[in-house]
Amino acid sequence: MRIVFLSTEVAPYAKTGGLADVAAALPVALGMLGHHVNIFLPKYGFISEKTHGLRKLSTDVVMRVPVGYATEGVGVWTTDTTDTNVRVYFIEHFWFFNRAGLYVDPRTTQDYSDNPARFAYLCRAVLETIRALKLDPDVIHCNDYQTALTPAYLNMAYTADPALSSTATLYTIHNMQYQGRFPRDIMGVINIGYEHFYPGSAFEYWEQVNFMKAGLTFADVLNTVSPRYAQEIQHSSEYGHGLEGVLRSRSDDLYGIINGIDYGVWNPRSDPLIPHPFDADDLTGKAHNKATLLYLFGLSAPPNTPVIGIVSRLASQKGLDLLGPVLSTLLESDLRMVVLGTGEPRYHDLFRWAAETYPDKIGVKLGFDDRLAHLIEAGADLFLMPSRFEPCGLNQLYSLRYGTLPIVRETGGLADTVLPYDPVQETGTGFSFSDYTSEALLGVVRQALDVYRHRPEVWQEMIRQAMREDFSWTASAKRYVELYEKAIAKKERISAATDAKKSRTSRR
């Protein structure tokens, strides 16, 4: 199968969250299954041509893409990856992408005001590049709202194009919160006629343009990144963020596939980013990593003091509002906390306050640091992820593999992947709570600390159970192939029906 995989973040080139990890690992897993994958992402200003060995392609065709009244040129770069069957392409546009941020301007901490133009351009530029390079994909796999106009353009502007008219689309929802909602006058910017903007149309949502709604409407098949989230988003506005009706209307085409993780990158035995390797049979290295971790955060603690780690985008999704009211109580008990994150100023304030008030108990780094993220996974005893909603979540999966028992809220992918501690059987791979309240959070942290302190043999067994869990991509990649097949079959049915209709009309 020939697959085009479109994402605005792909590790290691550009990353703000889990999408980057998925966009790096899933194509490789598909490549291993014998499929050909061409990944596309924007060529951001911070992607070093030298470090990544990028080279510019000279295409015979000069590609131009309409954006509002202008037409914009497209530059295409690539890199020779060592992964079988996978190639990465970078879409170059100096004005749109040669910037320091992906979505947000780091100077203002606000979204770039021209995001609709940037991402509409990206979708069309990818379609034009597919034609110019004769990639002939069976399916285009779009991810999140920034890529959601691709199925719309395909169905509106390329139906007569032999290179693309039979190409199917899969749209993966990694997060319902970010929909790409913009004022109606951007219809001109994205070059879709105003006649397509009316109440209930594919583009209109409460008098705004909604990129995600267009993706959900036009893509042949939809999926999200865990079975539980696939249900949640259809059945409540809290999870569906207003698009639950649209999702329900496509319920037959909406699937949930749990993300995998790349055990080549996240493996405590071979991880080059942690100082002391370890595995389930010998956890000595884990204890050394814990010592290094505390040292790096300027903390000290007697042995057997539990360490709780957090690595997170500091956003409302992550449930940090629950932590605020009980943070003092927690930090007054016998534990240490290490926090790595960046995001909304109010959470920066919360953790800065905690670090100033409890300097012996909590270490905080407000920033993005891949190496430190690995060390926290390796060195902490517990990993806290009390999300309000969580489409899948990768950090709890990394935690399981590194024997760092996750404390999670029972939602989305967290509920699908963490086996909560059962006090009767004394089994589980982590701890979980259901009610979105600070009391429930505090209760489960106390339960975890209790097992840590008083049931050391149960704790060790839970670690071993957690480390044995298998969330490799192989199984999920096969499920994606099944979805591609469904999308292709659906596209063929639609094309056959359209052809039949055309020939009926021409005979009349």
Instruction: For residue 422, give the DSSP letter.
Output: B
**Which among ligand GLC, ligand ADP, none contacts residue 369 (Cβ within 5 to 8 A by kind)?**
ligand ADP
Q: Which of 260, 277, 341, 412 binds ligand ADP (CB under 6 A)?
A: 341
Write down the number of H helices and E strands in the chain.
19, 22
Residue nearest to ligand GLC (CB): 18
Q: Which of 230, 373, 378, 466 binds ligand ADP (CB under 6 A)?
A: 373
Cβ distance 167 to 193 under 8 Å? no
Other CB atoms within a 10 A radius of the CB of residue 98 amount to 14
Give CA–CA dist 395/430, Å, rounded. Answer: 13
Size of the residue set binding ligand GLC (CB under 6 A)? 14
Buried b (16+ CB within 10 A) or exposed e, 41-67: bbbbeebeeeeeebeeeeeeeebebeb
Q: Does 406 bind ligand GLC (CB under 6 A)?
A: no
Per-position x/- string for 16-45, each x denoting binding to ligand ADP as judged by CB under 6 A, each - no binding: -xxx-x------------------------
**Which among ligand GLC, ligand ADP, none contacts residue 42 (Cβ within 5 to 8 A by kind)?**
none
Give CA–CA dist 128/146, Å, rounded. Answer: 17
Q: Which residues pair with 38 in a beta bridge?
A: 4, 87
Size of the residue set binding ligand ADP (CB under 6 A)? 18
**Which among ligand GLC, ligand ADP, none contacts residue 92 (Cβ within 5 to 8 A by kind)?**
none
Give CA–CA dist 197/185, Å, rounded. Answer: 10
Q: Which of 81, 98, 342, 495 binds ligand ADP (CB under 6 A)?
A: 342
Q: Does 140 bind ligand GLC (CB under 6 A)?
A: no
CA distances in angstroms from 117 to 101, 125, 139, 416, listed in the order given: 15, 12, 24, 37
Closest by CA position to 56, among listed 18, 6, 29, 94: 94
Phi, psi (deg, nearest 5) at residue 333 = -95, 180
Give CA–CA dist 151/234, Å, rounded. Answer: 21
Q: Which stretch binds ligand ADP (CB under 6 A): 91-99, 238-246, 306-314, 450-458?
A: 306-314
- The residue among 225 and 445 lying less far from ligand GLC, judged by its C-beta, is 225
Q: Does 395 bind ligand ADP (CB under 6 A)?
A: yes
Q: How far is the CB of 173 from ligand ADP (least distance, A)?
A: 12
**Which among ligand ADP, ligand GLC, none contacts residue 167 (Cβ within 5 to 8 A by kind)?**
none
Give CA–CA dist 298/375, Å, rounded. Answer: 14
DSSP string for residues in 137-200: -SEEEEESGGGTHHHHHHHHH-TT-TTTTT-EEEEEES-SS---EE-TTHHHHTT--GGG-STT
Q: Which of 4, 6, 10, 19 binds ligand GLC (CB under 6 A)?
A: 19
Residues 176-235 contacting ligand GLC, CB under 6 A: 225
Q: How far is the CB of 322 from ligand GLC (least distance, A)?
A: 17
Give CA–CA dist 16/19, Å, rounded. Answer: 8
- The residue among 217 and 399 lying less far from ligand ADP, judged by its C-beta, is 399
Q: Which of 259, 399, 417, 476 binds ligand GLC (CB under 6 A)?
A: 259
- The residue among 7 and 438 lying less far from ligand GLC, judged by its C-beta, is 7
**Beta strand 86-92 pairing with 64-67:** unpaired
Residues 156-175 contacting ligand GLC, CB under 6 A: 174-175
Is 406 buried (19+), middle (13-18) or exposed (0-12) by CB count in 10 A?
buried
Q: Which of 180, 393, 406, 420 binds ligand ADP (CB under 6 A)?
A: 393
Single-letter code of the amino acid located at 271: D
Other CB atoms within a 10 A radius of the CB of residue 499 amount to 10
**Which among ligand GLC, ligand ADP, none contacts residue 312 (Cβ within 5 to 8 A by kind)?**
ligand ADP
CA distances in angstroms from 279 to 15, 310, 352, 456, 467, listed in the order given: 28, 22, 34, 18, 8
Q: Does 344 bind ligand ADP (CB under 6 A)?
A: no
**Which among ligand GLC, ligand ADP, none contacts residue 342 (Cβ within 5 to 8 A by kind)?**
ligand ADP
**Which among ligand GLC, ligand ADP, none contacts residue 225 (Cβ within 5 to 8 A by kind)?**
ligand GLC
Q: Does 2 bind ligand ADP (CB under 6 A)?
A: no
**Which among ligand ADP, ligand GLC, none contacts residue 410 (Cβ within 5 to 8 A by kind)?**
none
Q: Does 369 bind ligand ADP (CB under 6 A)?
A: yes
- The residue among 158 and 239 lying less far from ligand ADP, judged by its C-beta, is 239
Q: How far is the CB of 40 from ligand ADP (least distance, A)?
A: 20
Residues 374-403 contacting ligand GLC, CB under 6 A: 390-394
Other CB atoms within a 10 A radius of the CB of residue 228 amount to 22
Cβ distance 25 to 262 under 8 Å? yes
Give CA–CA dist 508/504, Å, rounded. Answer: 7
Q: Which stretch binds ligand ADP (CB under 6 A): 79-87, 93-101, 189-197, 339-347?
A: 339-347
Give CA–CA dist 53/246, Å, rounded. Answer: 43
Residues 161-200 contacting ligand ADP, CB under 6 A: none
Give CA–CA dist 131/286, Å, rounded. Answer: 51
Footprint of ligand ADP on this chain (CB under 6 A)? 17-19, 21, 311-313, 340-342, 368-370, 373, 392-395
Footprint of ligand GLC on this chain (CB under 6 A)? 17-19, 22, 174-175, 225, 259, 390-394, 413
